[in-house]
Every structure is written in structure tokens, then in C-alpha cells.
């Protein structure tokens, strides 16, 4: 039972909440939502999905060298993951100049593939993809304490969902293997799909960016429930955590704090507001350094 968690206030709060919910909340209302990047798996030095996309953009530059003069293709061709990380960080600080360029490249990267073809490319990426600094397979970059938390909540009758800013169709082929969460319970950013000749194909038209205030909207759209448990790690998760905390019954909002430079990473950029609100609203904070006995399996 939560064997990768140190005994302390955070672990005690989780146990008390889950045991109380199992007694007092109807099974159909025991809904838990989890962000993915930085909450269930690593997001530094860049999102795992960015590595997948950067490889594709580099391929596109190889096929069309004229792309190399503009971002994000210039950074992809040079293997400059820092540019991508900076674009995301600036977005969380209110500057969307980089994220708009990135979004344009992301939307066109896999346009025209069938959904099955896209899933096969994702599976091939994870078959041999390795984290650049941790030197672990990406499939081994999930956080062991959070995987235990998923199982623990399931044991108390919860239904777990992922609600992430990451791509829905990037996460779906791998979430059952890593977290035991089936594809129908993955909520994420998405592009439009076209149906023709018996197939669904991806388009370059954005559908949803599942971040910030869009997260609770999409959670309600997909589940028809207000979650009673939510876990996130960044400013983009604030509205999801607030939506959970604002219910009339028991609830728990949990923020993961990255403060372990030795075993993972130590950063608060892009999470400052979430941590501040957690402090003022009494949300639980899981410190990687203090609360987790181990980070990875």
C-alpha cells in the first residue's frame, strides 16, 4: 500500500481521503483525474512527445530543406530541444510567441495518416525511445509512487482518467501498458479527424488544447462528472484542481513538486502559481524529495 511513499502528512492525507470516499461517496462518483507530463512521467528537459515530434520534423526538413530556415524546423534539424522547452515555458509565463510556431509545426507533422498508422508510429517510438539525460527507456520514466497511487485509488473503487495537455493519440497507445488506464479514459489535446473510405485520418486542424480552463470543460464533456480527486504539477493544471476542489462533497487536489535534482529534476518554472495556490487553499503537495522513497521502478 503506497510502499514508495514516505510516511508523512501527504501520504496520510491520501489514505484518509481514499478510505473516507470508499465509505461516503457512491462508486459512480469516485472519479480521479491525473495530468500526465510531470505528474505521471518525466517532462524535462523536454516533453517526451516533443522528442517524437522533433524526429518527425527533422524528417520533414530532410524531405524539404527549405523548412530549415524557420522554426520549429530549424530547432528540430539542429536537435535543439532547448528551443522547444523555452517555447513551452514562455507559454506558462504568458508569452505565446514560441508556442504558436510550435503548434503550427505540430499540427502538420502527422497530417494525413490514418489513426492506426499514427498509433503504430507511436508504438515504434516507445519501443526504443530513451530519455536523453536519465538514460532510461521512456517506458521506464513513469513515477512509481504515482503508479501506486493509481492502483490504490482503484482499490477503493475509483475510476482513473488522464487529463493532459499532451496529445490524446500520442498517449493512448502506451497508457495501458504504463498505468493500466485504457485509451477510452485518456483526455488530451487533439487535432481534427476526417473519415473517408472506411478510415479516420488526422488533419492539420486543431480541435482542443487540453490545458488550463479547457481541462475541466473536457473532463465534464468526457465523463459527465466532477472529479473528487485530481493530481497535477503545473500552472496548466490549476483549473482542473480548482474544479475538483469546488465540489460540495469530499475532494482532494494534489500538486507534485519537482524538487529532487539528484534523482530527477529540480524546477518550479511553470508551476509557481499552482504551488502558491496549493499553499493558500490547503491542497496537498507531494515533494519528490521528501515524500517519495523512490521515483522510478
| Of 169, 295, 172, 165, nearest in space to 234 by CA | 165
CB 34 within 8 A of CB 227: no
pLDDT single digits (tens) 232-275: 999 999 999 999 999 999 999 999 999 999 999 999 989 999 99
Please tell me the distance from the alpha carbon of residue 81 to that of residue 174, in angstroms, as a whole number.
Answer: 23
pLDDT-derived band at 136 (thresholds 50, 70, 90) equals very high
pLDDT single digits (tens) 31-56: 999 999 999 999 998 889 989 988 89
What pLDDT score was predicted for residue 93?
A: 79
Whole-structure pTM value: 0.93
Three cell numbers at 167?
Answer: 496529445
Q: What domains are there in the chain, each with its CATH number?
A: 9-41+141-194+208-291 (3.40.50.1000), 48-108 (no CATH)
Please tell me the distance from the alpha carbon of residue 225 to that of residue 145, in angstroms, as a whole number.
Answer: 26
Res. 282: pLDDT tops 90: yes
pLDDT single digits (tens) 96-129: 888 888 888 888 888 899 999 999 999 999 999 9
Res. 88: pLDDT tops 80: no
Q: Specify the higher pLDDT residue, 47 or 29.
A: 29
pLDDT-derived band at 13 (thresholds 50, 70, 90) equals very high
What pLDDT score was predicted for residue 81?
A: 76
Amino acid at each position: 500500500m503506497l510502499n514508495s511513499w514516505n510516511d508523512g502528512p501527504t501520504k496520510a492525507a491520501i489514505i484518509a481521503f481514499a478510505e473516507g470516499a470508499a465509505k461516503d461517496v457512491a462508486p459512480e462518483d469516485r472519479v480521479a483525474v491525473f495530468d500526465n507530463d510531470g505528474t505521471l512521467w518525466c517532462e524535462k528537459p523536454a516533453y517526451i512527445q516533443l522528442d517524437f515530434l522533433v524526429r518527425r520534423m527533422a524528417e520533414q526538413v530532410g524531405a524539404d530543406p527549405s523548412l530549415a530556415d524557420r522554426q520549429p524546423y530549424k530547432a528540430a534539424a539542429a536537435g535543439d530541444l532547448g528551443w522547444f522547452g523555452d517555447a513551452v515555458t514562455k507559454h506558462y509565463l504568458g508569452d505565446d510567441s514560441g508556442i504558436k510556431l510550435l503548434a503550427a509545426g505540430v499540427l502538420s507533422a502527422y497530417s494525413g495518416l490514418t489513426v492506426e498508422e499514427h498509433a503504430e508510429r507511436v508504438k515504434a517510438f516507445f519501443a526504443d525511445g530513451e530519455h536523453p539525460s536519465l538514460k532510461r527507456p521512456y517506458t521506464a520514466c513513469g513515477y512509481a509512487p504515482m503508479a501506486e497511487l493509481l492502483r490504490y485509488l482503484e482499490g477503493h473503487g475509483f475510476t482513473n482518467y488522464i487529463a493532459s495537455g499532451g496529445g490524446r493519440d500520442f498517449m493512448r497507445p502506451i497508457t495501458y501498458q504504463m498505468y493500466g488506464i485504457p485509451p477510452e479514459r485518456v483526455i488530451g489535446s487533439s487535432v481534427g479527424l476526417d473519415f473517408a473510405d472506411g478510415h479516420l485520418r488526422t488533419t492539420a486542424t486543431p480541435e482542443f488544447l487540453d490545458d488550463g480552463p479547457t481541462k475541466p470543460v473536457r473532463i465534464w464533456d468526457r465523463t459527465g462528472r466532477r472529479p473528487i480527486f485530481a493530481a497535477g504539477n503545473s500552472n496548466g493544471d490549476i483549473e482542473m484542481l480548482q474544479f475538483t476542489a469546488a465540489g460540495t462533497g469530499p475532494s482532494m487536489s494534489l500538486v507534485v513538486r519537482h524538487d529532487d535534482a539528484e534523482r530527477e529534476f529540480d524546477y518550479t518554472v511553470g508551476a509557481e502559481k499552482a504551488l502558491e495556490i496549493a499553499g493558500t487553499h490547503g491542497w496537498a503537495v507531494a515533494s519528490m524529495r521528501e515524500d517519495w522513497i523512490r521515483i522510478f521502478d
